[in-house]
């Protein structure tokens, strides 16, 4: 991240948290403080456009505030396409991440104590967990599943591994609470009924850790990291005049990204899955939609996560800010797959209806598509 083409810490950020921080500093915005332990959290979520129904709860100690996290005091995470907020009971700070269109994920903390002028501070310490093999080598996002030895209390988590939508559900969510109904076995602790809740829900904005929100977050983490990693690699290669030399590696990474965007390795669901919060309706409601009312945000939740298998992250500013060289190749590969010109067997699970629906939705809703998408 110190490369001249990146300069992660030196380059001014251009994302929602930085803009809010600037507004707070200039007195153009303020954060309301709510007593009783929640502090700035409710208003912070409102100002950043994060819904309470996205709340997921993790009790594995994966935070620099680890000593405050336990099954009785899980960490709450709230998110949208570009921002995540972590809330720890009695924590000194709230942990915030925001996706900069070019620089990738930027990490901040916000002191929880009441002050006349709240300020976000960038946190390099977050990179101890949020940059490495688990994030494809760039500052990024992680969802992991921890091991809880058989017969041991939930506190005894031992190591773990990164999960995304390719991970079999039976291996997911160790160290997490999960609310909702699903037939698949998993490693999480189910919650939902008052008799089986393991913690004081009044300390949180919601008593839920919605399974559909958790599934969505898992897809989004790897998609975010792929966008950032490929963009960084291309910018570095261009800055060093080594684009042709790097081309095979970059094209292989783009091929991997296109496959992930199209969910070709998504772990099947035994179905059906049903969440308990309003996330399953508010997330699709954000659109965009074509004239037939279809959206890439529409859930399936029977055999797969989404009804139309192409990642909604294609609409993000981060995707649109990837180098033209990358996006040209991504668009071409997507077009060839969706029109049937690409016969690579890795895309065999995409039915003709899947391809046609995704193609039509993109044509109607995605700005700045190459001209050949419209003309053919």
The pLDDT tens digits of the residues spanning 234-252 come to 999 999 999 999 999 999 9
Q: Are 148 and 156 in contact (CB under 8 A)?
A: yes
Confidence band, pLDDT 50/70/90 cuts, at residue 147: confident
Written as six digits, the tokens of 114 are 């009441």
Q: How confident is the model at residue 125 (pLDDT cuts 50, 70, 90)?
A: confident
Give the separation between CA 345 and CA 324, rounded to whole angstroms: 27
Strand partners, 121: 109
Rounded-to-integer distance, Cα 60 and Cα 345, Å: 39
Other CB atoms within 10 Å distance of the CB of residue 38: 17
Amino acid 195: pLDDT: 47
Strand pairing report for 160-162 and 104-111: unpaired
pTM listed for this prediction: 0.94
All residues at 6 or more sequence positions from 371 whose CB lies less than 8 Å from its CB, including other chains: none
Q: Are strands 160-162 and 177-179 parallel, antiparallel or unpaired?
A: unpaired
For the chain, give percent helix, strand, coil, nearest 5: 35, 15, 50
Mean of pLDDT over the chain: 92
pLDDT for the residue 158: 63
Length of the chain equals 376
- The mean pLDDT value for 305-315 works out to 98
Of the CA atoms within 13 Å of residue 273, those in its CB half-sphere come to 27
pLDDT band (50, 70, 90) for residue 67: confident
């Amino acid at each position: 991240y110190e490369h001249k083409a990146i300069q992660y810490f030196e380059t001014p950020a251009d994302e929602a948290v930085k803009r809010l921080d600037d507004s707070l500093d200039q007195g153009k915005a303020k954060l309301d403080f709510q007593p009783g332990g929640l502090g700035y959290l409710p208003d912070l979520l409102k100002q950043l456009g994060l819904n309470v129904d996205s709340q997921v709860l993790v009790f594995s100690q994966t935070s620099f505030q680890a000593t405050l996290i336990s099954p009785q005091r899980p960490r709450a995470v709230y998110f949208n396409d570009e921002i995540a907020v972590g809330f720890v009971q009695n924590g000194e700070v709230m942990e915030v991440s925001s996706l900069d269109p070019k620089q990738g994920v930027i990490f901040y903390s916000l002191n929880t104590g009441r002050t006349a002028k709240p300020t976000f501070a960038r946190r390099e310490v977050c990179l101890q967990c949020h940059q490495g093999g688990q994030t494809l080598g760039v500052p990024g996002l992680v969802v992991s599943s921890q091991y809880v030895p058989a017969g041991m209390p939930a506190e005894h988590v031992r190591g773990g591994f990164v999960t995304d939508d390719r991970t079999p559900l039976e291996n997911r969510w160790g160290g997490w609470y999960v609310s909702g109904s699903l037939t698949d076995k998993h490693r999480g602790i189910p919650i939902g009924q008052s008799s089986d809740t393991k913690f004081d829900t009044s300390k949180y904005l919601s008593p839920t850790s919605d399974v559909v929100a958790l599934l969505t977050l898992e897809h989004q983490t790897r998609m975010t990291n792929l966008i950032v990693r490929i963009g960084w690699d291309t910018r570095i290669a261009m800055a060093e005049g080594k684009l042709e030399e790097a081309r095979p590696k970059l094209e292989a990474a783009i091929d991997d990204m296109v496959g992930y965007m199209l969910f070709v390795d998504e772990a099947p669901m035994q179905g059906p899955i049903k969440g308990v919060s309003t996330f399953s309706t508010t997330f699709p409601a954000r659109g965009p939609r074509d004239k037939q009312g279809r959206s890439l945000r529409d859930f399936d939740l029977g055999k797969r996560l989404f009804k139309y298998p192409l990642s909604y992250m294609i609409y993000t500013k981060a995707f649109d800010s990837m180098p033209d060289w990358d996006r040209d190749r991504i668009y071409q590969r997507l077009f060839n797959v969706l029109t049937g010109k690409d016969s690579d067997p890795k895309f065999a699970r995409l039915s003709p209806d899947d391809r046609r629906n995704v193609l039509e939705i993109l044509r109607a809703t995605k700005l700045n598509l190459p001209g050949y998408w419209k003309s053919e």
